[in-house]
Protein backbone atom coordinates (compact mmCIF):
# COMPACT_ATOMS: atom_id res chain seq x y z
CA UNK A 1 0.00 0.00 0.00
CA UNK A 2 1.34 3.40 -0.93
CA UNK A 3 1.13 5.85 1.94
CA UNK A 4 0.05 9.33 0.90
CA UNK A 5 -0.62 11.85 3.63
CA UNK A 6 -1.48 14.98 1.72
CA UNK A 7 -3.36 15.92 -1.40
CA UNK A 8 -4.61 19.02 -3.17
CA UNK A 9 -8.02 18.71 -4.72
CA UNK A 10 -10.81 20.84 -6.13
CA UNK A 11 -14.40 20.02 -5.27
CA UNK A 12 -17.60 21.42 -6.66
CA UNK A 13 -21.21 20.90 -5.67
CA UNK A 14 -23.53 20.02 -8.54
CA UNK A 15 -25.20 22.87 -10.44
CA UNK A 16 -28.90 23.36 -9.98
CA UNK A 17 -31.04 22.36 -12.95
CA UNK A 18 -32.72 25.14 -14.97
CA UNK A 19 -36.38 25.93 -14.62
CA UNK A 20 -38.30 25.64 -17.88
CA UNK A 21 -41.06 27.48 -19.73
CA UNK A 22 -44.01 25.38 -20.73
CA UNK A 23 -47.79 25.78 -20.99
CA UNK A 24 -50.44 23.24 -20.31
CA UNK A 25 -52.12 22.01 -23.44
CA UNK A 26 -55.31 20.16 -22.90
CA UNK A 27 -58.18 19.35 -25.10
CA UNK A 28 -61.02 21.89 -24.78
CA UNK A 29 -58.87 24.22 -22.65
CA UNK A 30 -58.03 27.08 -25.00
CA UNK A 31 -55.31 28.67 -22.92
CA UNK A 32 -53.66 26.34 -20.44
CA UNK A 33 -51.70 27.96 -17.66
CA UNK A 34 -47.96 27.99 -17.28
CA UNK A 35 -46.67 24.59 -16.26
CA UNK A 36 -42.84 24.80 -16.45
CA UNK A 37 -41.32 22.99 -13.46
CA UNK A 38 -38.39 24.04 -11.30
CA UNK A 39 -34.93 22.59 -11.76
CA UNK A 40 -33.59 20.11 -9.20
CA UNK A 41 -30.92 21.14 -6.70
CA UNK A 42 -27.29 20.14 -7.30
CA UNK A 43 -25.73 17.39 -5.15
CA UNK A 44 -23.42 18.16 -2.22
CA UNK A 45 -19.85 17.03 -1.78
CA UNK A 46 -19.45 15.41 1.62
CA UNK A 47 -16.37 14.00 3.37
CA UNK A 48 -16.79 11.00 5.63
CA UNK A 49 -14.16 9.55 7.96
CA UNK A 50 -13.61 5.83 7.51
CA UNK A 51 -11.43 3.88 9.93
CA UNK A 52 -10.69 1.26 7.26
CA UNK A 53 -8.66 3.76 5.27
CA UNK A 54 -5.07 4.69 6.06
CA UNK A 55 -4.00 6.82 3.16
CA UNK A 56 -5.13 9.69 0.94
CA UNK A 57 -3.81 7.79 -2.08
CA UNK A 58 -7.16 7.91 -3.92
CA UNK A 59 -6.94 11.68 -4.13
CA UNK A 60 -3.55 11.58 -5.85
CA UNK A 61 -5.36 10.35 -8.96
CA UNK A 62 -8.61 12.16 -8.49
CA UNK A 63 -8.06 15.85 -8.11
CA UNK A 64 -11.20 17.34 -9.64
CA UNK A 65 -14.29 16.14 -7.90
CA UNK A 66 -17.79 17.19 -8.86
CA UNK A 67 -21.12 16.17 -7.39
CA UNK A 68 -23.99 15.44 -9.75
CA UNK A 69 -25.95 18.33 -11.29
CA UNK A 70 -29.67 18.75 -10.70
CA UNK A 71 -31.91 18.00 -13.70
CA UNK A 72 -33.97 20.55 -15.64
CA UNK A 73 -37.56 21.01 -14.63
CA UNK A 74 -40.21 19.25 -16.73
CA UNK A 75 -43.65 20.13 -18.09
CA UNK A 76 -46.70 19.68 -15.89
CA UNK A 77 -44.89 21.43 -13.04
CA UNK A 78 -42.51 18.54 -12.64
CA UNK A 79 -39.48 19.44 -10.55
CA UNK A 80 -36.24 18.08 -11.96
CA UNK A 81 -34.45 15.36 -10.04
CA UNK A 82 -31.86 16.55 -7.51
CA UNK A 83 -28.25 15.67 -8.15
CA UNK A 84 -26.92 12.84 -5.97
CA UNK A 85 -24.66 13.80 -3.08
CA UNK A 86 -21.10 12.64 -3.48
CA UNK A 87 -19.56 11.03 -0.42
CA UNK A 88 -15.78 11.03 -0.29
CA UNK A 89 -14.29 8.59 2.21
CA UNK A 90 -11.15 9.75 3.97
CA UNK A 91 -9.02 8.15 6.69
CA UNK A 92 -9.69 9.17 10.30
CA UNK A 93 -7.37 12.06 11.15
CA UNK A 94 -7.85 13.96 7.89
CA UNK A 95 -7.74 17.72 8.19
CA UNK A 96 -9.49 19.69 5.45
CA UNK A 97 -8.20 23.19 4.76
CA UNK A 98 -8.91 25.93 2.25
CA UNK A 99 -5.83 25.96 -0.01
CA UNK A 100 -5.39 29.67 -0.32
CA UNK A 101 -6.27 30.94 3.16
CA UNK A 102 -5.29 27.86 5.15
CA UNK A 103 -8.55 28.09 7.11
CA UNK A 104 -9.47 24.72 8.60
CA UNK A 105 -12.89 23.65 7.34
CA UNK A 106 -12.94 20.50 9.38
CA UNK A 107 -11.00 17.75 11.03
CA UNK A 108 -12.45 14.29 10.60
CA UNK A 109 -11.32 12.17 13.50
CA UNK A 110 -14.21 9.90 14.46
CA UNK A 111 -15.21 6.96 12.28
CA UNK A 112 -18.34 7.86 10.32
CA UNK A 113 -18.07 11.61 11.02
CA UNK A 114 -19.16 13.75 8.07
CA UNK A 115 -18.42 17.23 6.78
CA UNK A 116 -20.45 18.89 4.03
CA UNK A 117 -17.80 20.75 2.11
CA UNK A 118 -19.59 22.06 -1.00
CA UNK A 119 -23.32 22.64 -1.30
CA UNK A 120 -24.97 22.15 -4.64
CA UNK A 121 -26.58 25.07 -6.46
CA UNK A 122 -30.30 25.64 -6.12
CA UNK A 123 -32.48 24.66 -9.05
CA UNK A 124 -33.97 27.50 -11.13
CA UNK A 125 -37.68 28.34 -11.19
CA UNK A 126 -39.93 27.25 -14.01
CA UNK A 127 -42.51 29.64 -15.42
CA UNK A 128 -45.26 28.06 -13.29
CA UNK A 129 -43.56 29.78 -10.39
CA UNK A 130 -44.26 33.23 -11.84
CA UNK A 131 -48.01 32.90 -12.35
CA UNK A 132 -49.77 35.90 -10.84
CA UNK A 133 -53.02 37.81 -11.27
CA UNK A 134 -51.26 40.31 -13.44
CA UNK A 135 -49.41 37.82 -15.55
CA UNK A 136 -51.45 34.75 -16.47
CA UNK A 137 -48.95 33.52 -19.03
CA UNK A 138 -45.44 34.27 -17.74
CA UNK A 139 -42.55 33.31 -19.95
CA UNK A 140 -40.03 33.89 -17.28
CA UNK A 141 -37.77 31.19 -15.84
CA UNK A 142 -34.46 31.16 -14.02
CA UNK A 143 -31.36 29.12 -14.56
CA UNK A 144 -29.98 26.80 -11.90
CA UNK A 145 -27.26 28.26 -9.69
CA UNK A 146 -23.74 26.87 -9.80
CA UNK A 147 -22.59 24.68 -6.94
CA UNK A 148 -20.01 25.85 -4.40
CA UNK A 149 -16.45 25.33 -5.49
CA UNK A 150 -13.39 25.00 -3.24
CA UNK A 151 -9.74 24.26 -3.63
CA UNK A 152 -8.73 22.14 -0.72
CA UNK A 153 -5.71 20.85 0.97
CA UNK A 154 -6.16 17.47 2.64
CA UNK A 155 -3.70 16.47 5.29
CA UNK A 156 -3.69 13.20 7.15
CA UNK A 157 -2.38 13.33 10.69
CA UNK A 158 -2.47 9.89 12.19
CA UNK A 159 -4.35 9.49 15.43
CA UNK A 160 -1.82 7.98 17.78
CA UNK A 161 -1.60 8.72 21.49
CA UNK A 162 2.04 7.77 21.85
CA UNK A 163 4.77 8.57 19.32
CA UNK A 164 8.16 6.87 19.12
CA UNK A 165 10.92 9.11 17.82
CA UNK A 166 14.68 8.91 17.50
CA UNK A 167 17.60 8.70 15.13
CA UNK A 168 17.59 6.05 12.41
CA UNK A 169 18.51 2.62 13.77
CA UNK A 170 17.65 3.54 17.37
CA UNK A 171 15.35 0.52 17.54
CA UNK A 172 11.97 2.27 17.19
CA UNK A 173 10.40 -0.34 14.97
CA UNK A 174 11.79 -3.13 17.13
CA UNK A 175 10.16 -1.50 20.15
CA UNK A 176 6.71 -1.13 18.55
CA UNK A 177 6.88 -4.74 17.36
CA UNK A 178 7.76 -5.89 20.89
CA UNK A 179 4.87 -3.94 22.42
CA UNK A 180 2.13 -4.52 19.86
CA UNK A 181 1.25 -6.93 17.11
CA UNK A 182 2.58 -4.52 14.47
CA UNK A 183 5.14 -6.16 12.17
CA UNK A 184 7.23 -3.37 10.72
CA UNK A 185 10.42 -3.95 8.81
CA UNK A 186 13.48 -4.01 11.07
CA UNK A 187 17.06 -3.90 9.84
CA UNK A 188 20.50 -2.78 10.95
CA UNK A 189 20.76 0.09 8.51
CA UNK A 190 19.30 3.61 8.72
CA UNK A 191 15.99 4.60 7.13
CA UNK A 192 14.47 1.15 7.24
CA UNK A 193 11.12 2.69 8.09
CA UNK A 194 9.86 4.84 5.24
CA UNK A 195 6.27 5.39 6.36
CA UNK A 196 4.78 5.52 9.85
CA UNK A 197 3.72 2.27 11.47
CA UNK A 198 0.85 2.08 13.88
CA UNK A 199 0.52 -0.51 16.62
CA UNK A 200 -2.14 -1.02 19.25
CA UNK A 201 -0.74 -1.69 22.72
CA UNK A 202 -3.17 -3.19 25.24
CA UNK A 203 -3.50 -1.34 28.56
CA UNK A 204 -4.05 -3.28 31.81
CA UNK A 205 -7.66 -2.09 31.65
CA UNK A 206 -8.00 -3.91 28.33
CA UNK A 207 -8.32 -0.82 26.12
CA UNK A 208 -5.88 -0.41 23.30
CA UNK A 209 -3.65 2.62 22.91
CA UNK A 210 -2.31 3.47 19.47
CA UNK A 211 1.45 3.95 19.20
CA UNK A 212 3.14 5.37 16.10
CA UNK A 213 6.67 4.53 15.01
CA UNK A 214 7.88 7.12 12.52
CA UNK A 215 10.89 7.15 10.19
CA UNK A 216 14.18 8.16 11.78
CA UNK A 217 15.11 11.82 12.05
CA UNK A 218 18.58 13.22 11.51
CA UNK A 219 20.21 16.59 12.00
CA UNK A 220 18.70 19.08 9.57
CA UNK A 221 15.50 17.07 9.11
CA UNK A 222 13.52 20.28 9.57
CA UNK A 223 15.39 21.62 6.54
CA UNK A 224 14.54 18.55 4.51
CA UNK A 225 17.62 16.42 5.17
CA UNK A 226 17.16 12.64 5.18
CA UNK A 227 13.50 11.76 5.02
CA UNK A 228 12.83 15.23 6.36
CA UNK A 229 10.54 16.16 9.20
CA UNK A 230 7.50 15.38 7.04
CA UNK A 231 6.53 12.55 9.30
CA UNK A 232 6.53 14.60 12.47
CA UNK A 233 3.02 15.64 11.49
CA UNK A 234 1.95 12.14 12.46
CA UNK A 235 2.96 12.66 16.04
CA UNK A 236 1.42 16.15 16.28
CA UNK A 237 -1.68 14.70 17.87
CA UNK A 238 0.12 12.44 20.33
CA UNK A 239 -0.09 13.05 24.07
CA UNK A 240 3.28 11.54 24.83
CA UNK A 241 6.54 10.90 23.01
CA UNK A 242 9.05 8.13 23.58
CA UNK A 243 12.45 9.46 22.63
CA UNK A 244 14.56 6.41 21.89
CA UNK A 245 18.35 6.60 21.96
CA UNK A 246 20.74 3.80 21.02
CA UNK A 247 22.78 3.27 24.17
CA UNK A 248 25.61 1.72 22.16
CA UNK A 249 26.06 4.89 20.10
CA UNK A 250 29.48 6.54 20.46
CA UNK A 251 27.86 9.74 21.67
CA UNK A 252 24.33 9.30 23.05
CA UNK A 253 24.22 12.83 24.43
CA UNK A 254 24.72 14.42 21.02
CA UNK A 255 22.14 11.99 19.64
CA UNK A 256 19.60 13.28 22.16
CA UNK A 257 20.38 16.88 21.32
CA UNK A 258 19.92 16.28 17.57
CA UNK A 259 16.37 15.04 18.10
CA UNK A 260 15.55 17.78 20.60
CA UNK A 261 16.73 20.37 18.06
CA UNK A 262 14.54 18.87 15.37
CA UNK A 263 11.49 18.93 17.63
CA UNK A 264 12.17 22.58 18.31
CA UNK A 265 12.71 23.40 14.64
CA UNK A 266 9.48 21.67 13.64
CA UNK A 267 7.41 23.83 15.97
CA UNK A 268 3.69 23.12 16.41
CA UNK A 269 4.23 22.66 20.13
CA UNK A 270 6.16 19.39 19.81
CA UNK A 271 9.00 20.60 22.00
CA UNK A 272 6.55 21.02 24.90
CA UNK A 273 5.05 17.55 24.47
CA UNK A 274 5.69 15.32 27.50
CA UNK A 275 8.28 12.73 26.62
CA UNK A 276 10.16 9.86 28.15
CA UNK A 277 13.81 9.42 27.36
CA UNK A 278 14.54 5.76 26.75
CA UNK A 279 17.87 4.13 26.01
CA UNK A 280 17.52 1.07 23.80
CA UNK A 281 19.72 -1.98 23.33
CA UNK A 282 20.51 -2.01 27.04
CA UNK A 283 22.14 -5.45 26.94
CA UNK A 284 24.91 -4.10 24.73
CA UNK A 285 26.22 -1.91 27.53
CA UNK A 286 27.63 -2.75 30.95
CA UNK A 287 26.00 -1.28 34.00
CA UNK A 288 29.00 0.88 34.83
CA UNK A 289 28.75 2.51 31.41
CA UNK A 290 25.05 3.11 31.98
CA UNK A 291 25.89 4.95 35.16
CA UNK A 292 28.37 7.08 33.28
CA UNK A 293 25.71 8.08 30.81
CA UNK A 294 23.36 8.97 33.65
CA UNK A 295 26.03 11.16 35.20
CA UNK A 296 26.55 13.06 31.97
CA UNK A 297 22.82 13.49 31.64
CA UNK A 298 22.51 15.34 34.93
CA UNK A 299 23.25 18.57 33.11
CA UNK A 300 20.35 18.34 30.71
CA UNK A 301 16.81 18.59 31.96
CA UNK A 302 14.97 15.76 30.40
CA UNK A 303 13.64 13.67 33.28
CA UNK A 304 14.78 10.25 34.45
CA UNK A 305 15.67 8.02 31.54
CA UNK A 306 14.91 4.32 31.30
CA UNK A 307 17.12 1.60 29.89
CA UNK A 308 15.41 -1.13 27.90
CA UNK A 309 16.10 -3.96 25.55
CA UNK A 310 13.33 -4.77 23.13
CA UNK A 311 15.18 -7.86 21.97
CA UNK A 312 15.63 -9.27 25.50
CA UNK A 313 12.21 -8.00 26.66
CA UNK A 314 13.95 -6.15 29.47
CA UNK A 315 12.45 -3.01 31.00
CA UNK A 316 9.41 -3.01 28.73
CA UNK A 317 6.90 -3.49 31.57
CA UNK A 318 8.49 -0.63 33.46
CA UNK A 319 8.29 1.53 30.36
CA UNK A 320 4.63 0.66 29.79
CA UNK A 321 3.73 1.43 33.40
CA UNK A 322 5.36 4.82 33.10
CA UNK A 323 3.52 5.46 29.84
CA UNK A 324 0.12 4.61 31.35
CA UNK A 325 0.92 6.81 34.33
CA UNK A 326 1.85 9.75 32.13
CA UNK A 327 -1.20 9.30 29.91
CA UNK A 328 -3.63 9.74 32.79
CA UNK A 329 -1.79 12.61 34.44
Ligand X SMILES: Nc1nc2c(ncn2[C@@H]2O[C@H](COP(=O)(O)OP(=O)(O)OP(=O)(O)O)[C@@H](O)[C@H]2O)c(=O)[nH]1
Integer Cα distance of 148 and 14 in angstroms: 8
Instruction: Name the residue with the smallest CB distance to ligand X.
Output: 216
Integer Cα distance of 303 and 20 in angstroms: 74
82 binds Mg ion (CB under 5 A): no
CB 327 within 8 A of CB 209: yes
Integer Cα distance of 81 and 259 in angstroms: 58
Q: Which does 280 bind (CB under 5 to 8 A by kind): ligand X, Mg ion, none?
A: ligand X
Pick from 222, 311, 316, 320: which binds ligand X (CB under 6 A)? 311
- Binders of Mg ion in range 192-211 (CB under 5 A): 192-193
**Residue with smaller CB distance to Mg ion, 187 or 300:** 187
- The contact pattern for ligand X, residues 133-172, with x = CB under 6 A and - = no contact, is ---------------------------------x-xxxxx
Q: Which does 229 bind (CB under 5 to 8 A by kind): Mg ion, ligand X, none?
A: none
CB 69 within 8 A of CB 56: no
Pick from 284, 294, 300, 302: which binds ligand X (CB under 6 A)? 284
- Distance in Å, CB of 17 to ligand X, minimum: 55
Compute CA 98 distance to the chain's CA centroid, rounded to the nearest angstrom: 15
173 binds Mg ion (CB under 5 A): yes
CA torsion, ordered 310, 316, 322, 327, to nearest 10 deg: 70
SS3 69: coil
Give the largest Cα separation in the chain, rounded. Answer: 110
- Distance in Å, CB of 276 to ligand X, minimum: 16
Q: Residue count at the site for ligand X (CB under 6 A)?
A: 24
Strands ordered across the beta sheet of 64-66: 64-66, 6-12, 149-156, 94-98, 104-108
Pick from 8, 51, 112, 191: which binds ligand X (CB under 6 A)? 191
54 binds Mg ion (CB under 5 A): no
Integer Cα distance of 59 and 1 in angstroms: 14
CB 13 within 8 A of CB 44: yes
- Binders of ligand X in range 210-269 (CB under 6 A): 215-216
- Distance in Å, CB of 160 to Mg ion, minimum: 15
Stretch that binds Mg ion, among 12-20, 86-94, 184-192, 275-283 (CB under 5 A): 184-192
Integer Cα distance of 283 and 247 in angstroms: 9
Q: Which residues contact ligand X (rule: CB under 6 A)?
A: 166, 168-174, 186-188, 190-193, 215-216, 280-281, 283-284, 309-311
The site for Mg ion (CB under 5 A) is made up of 172-173, 192-193
Amino acid sequence: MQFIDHANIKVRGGSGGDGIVSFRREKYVPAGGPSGGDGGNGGKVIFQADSNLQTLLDFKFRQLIFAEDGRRGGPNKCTGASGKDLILKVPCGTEVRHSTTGVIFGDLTVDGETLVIAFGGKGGHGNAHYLSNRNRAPEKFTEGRPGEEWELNLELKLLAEVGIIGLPNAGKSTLISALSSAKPKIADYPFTTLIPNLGVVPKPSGDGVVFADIPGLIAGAALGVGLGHEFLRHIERTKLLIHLVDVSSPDPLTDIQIIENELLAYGNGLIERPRILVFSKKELLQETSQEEILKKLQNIEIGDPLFISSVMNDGLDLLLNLIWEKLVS
